[in-house]
Structures are given as structure tokens and as C-alpha cells.
Amino acid sequence: MSILVVMEQRGGSWNRMSFETLSAAQQLARELGTTASAAVLGQAIDGLADELASKQLRKVYAVEHDLLKDYTPDAYTAALRQLVALAEPRLVLFPHTYQVRDFLPKLATSLGTVAVSDVVSHRIENGQVVLVRQLFQGKVNADVRLPGSPVVGSQAAGSSTQSPAPQFASFQAGAYRGDQLADGSAPLEKFAPQIAAGDIRTRPLELFRESQRAVDLGAAELIVAVGRGIKESENIAMVRELADAMGAELAASRPICDAGWLPMERQVGSSGQTVAPKMYMAIGISGAIQHLVGMKGSRVVVAINKDPNAPIFEVADYGIVGDLFQVVPELTAAFRKSK
Amino acid sequence: MKIVVAIKQVPARDSQLRIASSGKWIEDADLTYEINEPDAYALEEGLQLREKHGGEVVALCAGPARAASTIREALAKGADRAIHIEEDDFGDPLTAARVMAAAIEAEAPDLVLTGLQSDDLGYGQTGVILAELLGLPHATLIMQVEKVDGGIRVKRELEDGWFQHVEMPLPALLTIQSGISKLRYATLMGIKKAKTKEVKRLSAADVVAGRQTTETDRLGGGPPQSHFVIERIYLPERTKHTQLFEGSPKEAAAKLVEKLRFEARVI
């Protein structure tokens, strides 16, 4: 069962999550007694491919085409189908980025298969790979077993290859350590896929950021963040009072900013800011992964939540399981008193 | 513009989840259900596009009989009619999407919308699979949709506060990100009118049997290859030791402040 990792880059810069997936692939390859290869797609990617070639890999594929310069799901799917036919991996791994979510289900479907998305860990049982993924926003885990020997079944119509489709999986941010890669020297293979401009139906335009960020949460030493548990816009005042009592910056999870209860610039998470304060206090935040990736580098995490099974407790050093509407005013009073 | 919005019913967000004795799913006897939140935003976007450009919004829901309440809510909010594919469990997202795609194909819409992921299974794949099955261009995590000459221009969310505009022709499929706009409530009038709106109820077998299959059919192709099996589900084991403070809110708060000051020394 050879493994292929599809790395992600944009404009010549890596998405660092790719290296976490690469690390997972090296680990899986060791455990299964097989090899891992890696691929990078784009245009003018020599430097990136060379960097990959310094890792312990069987092979590095540089998949180059002018039409891969800017990401489109059509071009990426076409290129990866051809790469999979060439490299014949049994397992293809991706970082679970926004871009991968955009094309991986299409790629898998075009080969008549289904990807296991958003994997957080794995184990090997009797030579078979068991992937663990989360359900219910991280509240429940599921073990997903990949069959050890591929089942040669009917191919999806429209697919002309005879070999069965590989298994596809994407790995969640932070699930593996990207800084623990084994170094080596891998041969580099350049691959020029066939892509026609007419096959690309979407036209990607410029990337942009919405507005200047007036609040730099990244510099804050103390952060008090509020989530969906606060229920009403008016209740935010209670949390603001606590933040003021502590001298902390006020932040929020996505639903609060979506609702317009706090400005977007105070959002922590994958689509907002990434923070690493001395202390991060999460109030009424259940801790979906999109939020956790933005704050789990904090030195001390405090969680206040009524649900003892909320995933936020998985990263919390201190916690109170209880009704935030009772706990927060008491905390404010306690901080004021201790000054 | 004719718009199909695919919606799903999921357990209510603050449900206390317990694992069923089978170990394959959660205990569902005493759960309450609601529309999957990103799908609510997809429906809202569909309704707003219809208000701007005219046309029709068809709500499509694949799920068990209980999903009828979510369909009624979609109709009360303003969907013109609905299709309910009654099926308890599809097993995997490709199987579900094949049935939904057959129903969508029969409607020949200009635009298909759905939420970016479900809050229960969380595969985040159904929309993109549908696009591939239907042969439509697509974009995901959409925060804005504008009609332009020759198609649509959408604002796609990327990581770290970045966005990108993407243009594509119609028909197309978009997966909508939560927060794209403010959700409306159903009005009393809407709830009343919903009772008179058409809900077409079909089984998965009806939907698939109702269409002509061809040699190169992407929607047919039998069941997907056996790729993976969900063996069991379970509550995650806590690997982190969290110090929890008990007692009255006042006592717990006092203990927490003391720890933050004298043990963690962060305040």
C-alpha cells in the first residue's frame, strides 16, 4: 500500500499544514512497511520540489502546468487523476485545507470513490489502517477502517483506468507534528499533465482581505473569548465586563461575529485570527476545530461551559462546568476583589 | 433563476449526545432536531437571490420521515415547494449524493445551493460530490453571490481572513458558509402558507427509477466501491488533564481566580 501526499502551495509558499500530513504519511509508511511519495502542483515550483526532495520519500512529483498557476477545481482534479494513474498509490493523503475541501470530493467522485475527510489520528490493526475522524463538531469520534487489500469493483462510468481507485483521506490541522519530518534524499520526477483551458469552467480572480485589522489579538497577553453559549447580543456586555476586570482583550468565536454581535476583527479561528496569549478564557465556546486551531497555542486555556463533553475541555488547563450566566458575574467579582 | 437548495436535518446544536448501545450511532430517541445551520444560510441565500432576480426556490431534503418538520420550516420561510427523499440512512456521502443528484437533474435548476458541511457527520463533501455528479462548475465556502453577465461572481472564503472572487457560468453549484447574511424568521403568514405548498415525497428507489440511464452515466454506476466502514463511534477520551472547579458558581470562580494568580501566574 504505497502512499502519496499531495502538498499545498499558493504563489510559491507552502500551506504549512501540508507538512503535518507529510509527517503522518512517513509514520504510516513506517508502520505499514511501505513507502511514501509526495507531489506538489503548480507553475514554477522547482524550489518547492527541491525542498521536498530533501525529505525521506520514495519520490517527489513536480506536477507542472501553466493552468495550475492559480488553483481551480477543474485543473487540479484533471492533473491529480493523471498523477494517480501514473504513480498508482493505494492511499492518497491531503491536508484538510479549504482548498482541499474544494476539490477532493470531486476527485474521489470522478474515480467512483469517497474520501475520508478531516482525520485526526490513525492506528494500524491487523495490517489495516483505521482512521479516526470527528462527528458532531468534535463531540464524538468515529473509527473508520480502510480495507487492507483493495476491492476491485466496478469503476465509475467515464473512468477508463482498470486499476481500482486509491483511497483518499484528508488530515485535520494540528493532528500531526509537522516539525518531526525524517530527512532524506528523494528522486525528483517532473510530470506535465494534459489540461485544456476549455476544461476549466471557473475563473479565479484576485485574493483580497476585507479590511485593515484595528485589533491585533495576536499581541494580546490575556484574551476572554465568547461563543454561542451567550445566547443574546445583550449578554455580551457581561463578558466585556469580565474582560475589563482582567485587563483582557475581548474576542469571539465565529457565530458571534457572523451574527454581528462583535466585529469580524475580533474573531479567533481558522477564518479569523490565530492567537497565543498567556491566558485564553473561552466562555460558552464548545470548541469546534475551526476555533481550536486559532487558539490552541495559548499558554493557559480556561474553559467555562455547561457541557462537560464540549471539545474545548480537551485543550483546557482549567475549567468550570456550569451555567456561564451565573459563573461570569462571579468571576468578574472575584477578579475585582483579588486586585 | 430556478434554485434548488439541499437541506439536511441534524440533531439540535446543544444536544447532550450519548452513544447508542450498538456503538454505531448516537442514542436518538430523545433528541430534538433542527435544520443544519450552514443549510439555513444556503436557504436564506436562495430566497434572497429569488427576491432579487425572480424565479423559484425548491427545497430538497434527503432524510427520514422526521425531516418533514425541517422541510415545513423551509417552506414557511419562503421556499416555493419541496422534495423529500425519504430514506433513513444512506451510509456514505456518495450514495446520498447520487440519489439527490437524480432528483436535482430532473428539476434542471440554474443554481444548486447547499451548506458547506453538516453539523452531524461533518464530511463537508455532499455539495462538491453533487457538482461532479451533475457535471456542474462549483465553488465552496461562499460568502456572497452576484449575478453578472454570463453567470455569477462569488466571494469565496479562504483561511486567515483572505477571500477570493471566482466567476463561473450557470448552471452551477455553490456551498454556502454560515454567516453569509442574516437569517430570516418564518412569519405567521409564511407558516400558514406553507401548509398549502407542494411537498413531493419519494423514496430513493423512486428517484433513481424515475430517470433514464445511459452508458456514460455518472449518477448510475451501482453502489460505490467498498472503501471504508465506520466501525464504531465513541466519546473522545480526554487526553488533557483539566482541573475542574466545583461548588457554587461563587466558590468555583474564587478557586479559578486563585489558581490563575498563584499557580498559572498569568494574572
Q: Looking at the domain assignment, is residue A207 inside a domain? A: no
pLDDT (0 to 100) of residue A5:
98
Name the pTM for this structure. Answer: 0.90
Please check whether residues A221 and A88 belong to one and the same domain.
no
Q: Looking at the domain assignment, is residue A181 inside a domain? A: yes
Q: Looking at the domain assignment, is residue A263 inside a domain? A: yes
Q: Given CB atoms, is A173 within the 8 Å cutoff of chain B? A: no
Segment B151-167 shows an average pLDDT of 93
From chain A residues 145-164, the ones with a CB under 8 A of any chain B CB are: 145-147, 151, 153-158, 164
User: Which positions in chain B touch A270 (Cβ < 8 Å)?
Assistant: 159-160
Please check whether residues A185 and A257 belong to one and the same domain.
no
Q: Min CA distance, B218 vs chain A (Å)? A: 6
Let me know: does B122 contact B154? Beta carbons within 8 Å: no
Please check whether residues A188 and A251 belong to one and the same domain.
no
User: Which positions in chain A touch B256 (Cβ < 8 Å)?
Assistant: 302, 318, 320, 331, 334
* Buried/exposed B191-208: b ≥16 CB within 10 Å, e otherwise: eeebeebebeebebeebb
Please check whether residues A169 and A226 belong to one and the same domain.
no
Q: Looking at the domain assignment, is residue A240 inside a domain? A: yes
Number of domains in chain A: 2
Phi, psi at residue B147, to the nearest 5°? -85, 130
User: Across chain B, how many H-helices and E-strands are there?
Assistant: 7, 13
CB contact under 8 A, B249 and A164: no
From A221-225, A266-270, B90-94, B191-195, the region with the lowest mean pLDDT:
B90-94
CATH class, domain B2-209, is alpha beta
The whole-angstrom separation of Cα A69 and Cα A56 is 27
pLDDT (0 to 100) of residue B237:
81
CB contact under 8 A, B253 and A258: no
Please check whether residues A183 and A231 belong to one and the same domain.
no
User: Which positions in chain B touch A315 (Cβ < 8 Å)?
Assistant: 240
Q: Given CB atoms, is A336 within the 8 Å cutoff of chain B? A: no
Domain span holding position A246: 217-338
Nearest CA in chain B to A90: B227
pLDDT (0 to 100) of residue A2:
93
Please check whether residues A280 and A195 belong to one and the same domain.
no
pLDDT (0 to 100) of residue A151:
34
pLDDT (0 to 100) of residue B212:
62
More confident of the two residues A36 and B160 = A36
Q: Looking at the domain assignment, is residue A212 inside a domain? A: no
Under 8 Å CB-to-CB from B149, ≥6 apart: which residues?
A: none
The domain boundary, picked from A199, A233, A267, lies at: A199
Please check whether residues A332 and A267 belong to one and the same domain.
yes
Segment B35-49 shows an average pLDDT of 97
Per-residue pLDDT at B128 exceeds 90: yes
pLDDT (0 to 100) of residue B226:
52
pLDDT (0 to 100) of residue A303:
98
Identify from B121, B125, B134 which residue to disrupt to test chain A contact, counting A C-beta atoms within 10 A and taking the largest count. B125
Strands B81-86 and B9-11: unpaired
Spell out the per-residue pLDDT of chain A, length 339, in tens.
699 999 999 999 999 999 999 999 999 999 999 999 999 999 999 999 999 999 999 999 999 999 999 999 999 999 999 999 999 999 999 999 999 999 999 999 999 999 999 999 999 998 889 999 999 988 899 999 887 543 333 334 444 444 678 999 999 988 898 888 999 999 999 999 999 999 999 999 999 987 666 788 988 999 999 999 999 999 999 999 999 999 999 999 999 998 889 998 899 998 888 899 999 999 999 999 889 989 988 999 999 999 998 999 999 999 999 999 999 999 999 999 987
Q: Looking at the domain assignment, is residue A31 inside a domain? A: yes
CB contact under 8 A, A140 and B161: no
Please check whether residues A36 and A163 belong to one and the same domain.
yes
CATH label of the domain that carries residue A294: 3.40.50.1220
pLDDT (0 to 100) of residue A161:
42
Segment B252-265 shows an average pLDDT of 95
The domain boundary, picked from A169, A199, A229, lies at: A199
Please check whether residues A193 and A223 belong to one and the same domain.
no
Q: Give which of A194, A231, A222, A247 is closest to A83, Cα–Cα.
A: A194
Please check whether residues A242 and A136 belong to one and the same domain.
no
CB contact under 8 A, A320 and B264: no
Please check whether residues A221 and A161 belong to one and the same domain.
no
The whole-angstrom separation of Cα A248 and Cα A5 is 41
CB contact under 8 A, B129 and A105: yes
Q: Report the residue from B92, B93, B242 with minimal CB separation from A319.
A: B242
Please check whether residues A256 and A171 belong to one and the same domain.
no
Cα torsion A39, A41, A44, A48 to 10°: value is -40
Strands A36-42 and A167-171: unpaired
CB contact under 8 A, A331 and B169: no
What ipTM was assigned to the predicted interfaces of this complex?
Answer: 0.92
Let me know: does A91 contact A128? Beta carbons within 8 Å: no
pLDDT (0 to 100) of residue B97:
94
CATH label of the domain that carries residue A126: 3.40.50.620
Nearest CA in chain B to A326: B249
Q: Give which of A223, A295, A304, A282 is closest to B267, Cα–Cα.
A: A223
What percent of chain B lies above the pLDDT cut of 70? 94
Q: Give which of A119, A99, A116 is closest to A175, Cα–Cα.
A: A119
Q: Min CA distance, A185 vs chain B (Å)? A: 32
All CATH 3.40.50.620 domain ranges in chain B, comma separated: 2-209
**Cell numbers given for B65:** 420521515
pLDDT (0 to 100) of residue B238:
76
Let me know: does A62 contact A40? Beta carbons within 8 Å: yes
From chain A residues 59-98, the ones with a CB under 8 A of any chain B CB are: 73-74, 97-98
